């Protein structure tokens, strides 16, 4: 598919406004899951024009940048993470002109734009894979085992369930760490490197400010593709490198992409979606000559409990400091159970967790709808499901950090807290306004049904209500900009009762009560912002259960 820009792109001439070097070190970046954000043409599926129309909302929320999930030409076997043409926009989402218009309008509003790049695999409808000779050079094909080659080449399992290999009608097998419609590229082939560098240049020339690199830990496989041992994959995931995840060889690729990013003006960034077994392994992805950020999934996977949270925070900060990088905090995304539900404490706990995250040193990613306090939708009927893992008959298995158990999300892809383990429940389209579905999402319906009781959660219903979660996020992001002590910089722990965390940033103290009941603390100062009202008796603050407070000190 060839797409042309119908008007000369101005994005090329107007990079994002420069708000100082290293803007990303403390940026708040908002993840737009395009399919579910805003629908401009009434087909029930969000699109790029819908995003563009809602940019004023993102500006008023106070974020620095948006990350757009894949909108490229794709058969949509995995929500667009199966790309058939990396330089074309899928007609579901619009046109290349719409992408150009969106980038330009975002820049005019002072928002940066990060796009997804999917280098571990393509769609099986990609021209390379459709051509049997090209495919054998550029993807991972192997003969099968067994007398007639009828068994897969090794025992690797797909993240979405079942074997990681599919046999072709020629009799050999190809590797797919994800769905069979997502064949793994062979990164030993220099043409693969050249193609991805060219794709990145294409989008950088269009003005994007960086890339979220999908499965950044996956491109390189151990030589010989060794067996893992039947039944061991699930237990090893998250605790050590696997022959297909977090191999040292991926770092050479990231170094080459850093050189490419640095060859463009304006601080363009790469953020790794890398599931590494430890904070120290994750920090390797953000060494000075590699990527700028790596999502901290160990924080995301941490239980809501003061002691383990403190350990994760300490480990993360120490690991990233050892390479001079900031830590990149995240609580929700399109692959995990929304934190309102996942943390098991409803909105109180979710609001507290968010204020904790936004008080920590470094940058943070928000996932669309968390600013509305949206819960996971847990009762989607089977017939509307789209997550390929649902149809592969098993809970996804991947590469989560320590602490993962069978109920929690390996690779962040499975459920937690009694959830069903699939990913449609966090992808339900956003409620913008009105009393009934589709709540202003678009003029038609919505590709996943929205709950009947989301009328109180719409942007419209929450705007201007100081007790709302939306206004809490707005105020938190405004304070983060105004208070020099927040964002990048140092923090130091302060004494606190068991179950409570207290840490100081310059001029600000953050207290977090992870207990389900009130905790007492000597009054530290004046409340700047709190996830719940904090009563004071004399010189004692009564921190409500599951709350977080920012104090001026």
* Residues marked as catalytic: 214, 273
Q: Which of 305, 310, 374 is nearest to 337 (CA)?
A: 374
Q: How far apart are CA 213 and CA 269, in angstroms?
A: 10
Is residue 81 involved in binding ligand BGC (CB under 6 A)? yes
The mark string for 511-530 relative to ligand BGC (x by CB under 6 A, - otherwise) is --------------------
Cβ atoms of 63 and 30 closer than 8 Å: yes
Is residue 424 involved in binding ligand BGC (CB under 6 A)? no
What DSSP assignment string belongs to 335-358? TS--HHHHTSSHHHHHHHHHHHHH
Least Å distance, CB 104 to ligand BGC, is 27
Cβ atoms of 478 and 62 closer than 8 Å: yes
Q: Which of 115, 285, 80 is nearest to 200 (CA)?
A: 115
Sign of CA dihedral 18, 471, 370, 43: negative
Alpha helices, H only, 466-512: 469-482
In the window 242-281, what residues touch ligand BGC (CB under 6 A)? 273
Least Å distance, CB 334 to ligand BGC, is 6
Least Å distance, CB 331 to ligand BGC, is 15
Q: How far apart are CA 359 and CA 313, in angstroms?
A: 12
Is residue 504 involved in binding ligand BGC (CB under 6 A)? no
Facing residues of 493 across strands?
503
Q: How far apart are CA 155 and CA 226, in angstroms?
A: 8
Of 23, 72, 173, 178, the one binding ligand BGC (CB under 6 A) is: 178
Q: State which residue, 118 or 528, has the beta carbon closest to ligand BGC.
A: 118
* Cα torsion through 432, 434, 437, 440, rounded to 10: -40
Is residue 329 involved in binding ligand BGC (CB under 6 A)? no
* Cβ within 8 Å of residue 177, ≥6 positions away: 120, 121, 156, 158, 159, 164, 184, 215, 218, 244
Is residue 335 involved in binding ligand BGC (CB under 6 A)? yes
Q: Give the nearest residue (CB) to ligand BGC.
A: 81
Total binding residues toward ligand BGC, as defined by CB under 6 A:
9
Cβ atoms of 59 and 395 closer than 8 Å: no
Is residue 63 involved in binding ligand BGC (CB under 6 A)? no
Cβ atoms of 220 and 247 closer than 8 Å: yes
| Displacement of CA 266 from its chain's centroid (Å) | 23
* Strand 28-32, strand 363-367: pairing: parallel
The mark string for 341-380 relative to ligand BGC (x by CB under 6 A, - otherwise) is ----------------------------------------
Q: How far apart are CA 368 and CA 32, in angstroms?
A: 6
Tokens of 163: 């074997």
Of 78, 85, 101, 424, the one binding ligand BGC (CB under 6 A) is: 78
The mark string for 113-152 relative to ligand BGC (x by CB under 6 A, - otherwise) is -----x----------------------------------
Is residue 157 involved in binding ligand BGC (CB under 6 A)? no
Q: State which residue, 39 or 214, has the beta carbon closest to ligand BGC.
A: 214
The one-character DSSP state at 425 is G
Q: State which residue, 81 or 165, has the beta carbon closest to ligand BGC.
A: 81
Of 135, 140, 206, 215, the one binding ligand BGC (CB under 6 A) is: 215
Least Å distance, CB 440 to ligand BGC, is 26
Q: State which residue, 107 or 427, has the beta carbon closest to ligand BGC.
A: 427
Is residue 213 involved in binding ligand BGC (CB under 6 A)? no
Least Å distance, CB 429 to ligand BGC, is 17
Q: State which residue, 203 or 367, has the beta carbon closest to ligand BGC.
A: 367
Q: Kindly list the residues in this chain that would bind ligand BGC in the complex (CB under 6 A).
A: 78, 81, 118, 178, 214-215, 273, 334-335
């Amino acid at each position: 598919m060839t797409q042309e820009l119908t008007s000369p792109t101005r994005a090329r001439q107007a990079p994002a406004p420069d708000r100082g070097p290293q803007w990303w070190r403390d940026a708040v970046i908002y993840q737009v899951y395009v399919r579910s954000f805003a629908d401009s043409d009434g087909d029930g599926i969000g699109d790029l024009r819908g995003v563009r129309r809602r940019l004023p909302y993102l500006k008023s929320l106070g974020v620095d940048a948006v990350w757009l999930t894949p909108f490229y030409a794709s058969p949509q076997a995995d929500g667009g993470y199966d790309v058939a043409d990396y330089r074309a926009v899928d007609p579901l989402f619009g046109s290349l002109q719409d992408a150009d218009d969106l980038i330009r309008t975002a820049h005019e509003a002072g928002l940066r734009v990060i796009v997804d790049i999917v280098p571990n695999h393509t769609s099986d409808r990609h021209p390379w894979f459709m051509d049997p000779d090209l495919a054998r050079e550029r993807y991972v094909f192997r003969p099968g085992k067994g007398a007639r080659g009828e068994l897969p080449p090794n025992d690797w399992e797909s993240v979405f369930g079942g074997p990681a290999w599919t046999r072709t009608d020629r009799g050999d097998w190809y590797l797919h760490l994800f769905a069979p419609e997502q064949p793994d590229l062979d990164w030993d082939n220099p043409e693969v490197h050249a193609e991805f560098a060219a794709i990145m240049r294409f989008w950088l020339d269009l003005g994007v400010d960086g890339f979220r690199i999908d499965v950044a830990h996956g491109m390189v496989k151990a030589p010989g593709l060794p067996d893992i041992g039947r039944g061991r994959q699930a237990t090893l995931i998250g605790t050590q490198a696997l022959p297909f995840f977090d191999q040292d060889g991926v770092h050479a690729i990231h170094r080459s992409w850093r050189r490419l990013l640095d060859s463009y003006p304006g601080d363009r960034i790469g953020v790794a979606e890398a599931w590494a077994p430890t904070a120290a392994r994750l920090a390797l992805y953000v060494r000075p000559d590699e990527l700028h950020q790596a999502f901290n999934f160990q924080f995301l996977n941490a239980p809501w409990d003061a002691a383990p949270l403190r350990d994760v925070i300490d480990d993360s900060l120490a690991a990233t400091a050892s390479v001079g990088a900031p830590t990149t905090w995240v609580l929700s995304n399109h692959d995990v159970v929304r934190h309102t539900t996942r943390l098991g404490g409803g909105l109180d706990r979710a609001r507290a967790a968010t204020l904790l995250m936004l008080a920590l040193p470094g940058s943070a990613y928000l996932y669309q709808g968390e600013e509305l306090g949206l819960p996971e939708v847990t009762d989607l009927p089977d017939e509307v499901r789209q997550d390929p893992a649902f149809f592969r008959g098993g809970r996804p298995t991947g590469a989560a950090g320590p602490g993962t158990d069978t109920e929690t999300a390996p690779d962040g892809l499975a459920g937690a807290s009694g959830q069903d383990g699939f990913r449609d429940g966090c992808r339900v389209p956003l409620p913008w306004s009105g009393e009934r579905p589709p709540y202003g999402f678009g003029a038609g319906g919505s590709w996943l049904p929205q709950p009947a009781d989301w009328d109180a959660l719409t942007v419209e219903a929450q705007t201007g209500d100081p007790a709302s979660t939306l206004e809490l996020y707005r105020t938190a992001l405004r304070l983060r900009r105004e208070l020099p002590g927040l964002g990048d910089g140092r923090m130091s722990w302060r004494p606190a009762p068991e179950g409570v965390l207290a840490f100081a940033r310059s001029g600000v103290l953050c207290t977090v009560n992870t207990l389900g009941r009130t905790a007492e603390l000597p009054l530290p100062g004046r409340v700047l912002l709190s996830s719940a009202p904090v009563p004071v008796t004399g010189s004692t603050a009564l921190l409500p259960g599951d709350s977080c407070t920012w104090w001026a000190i």
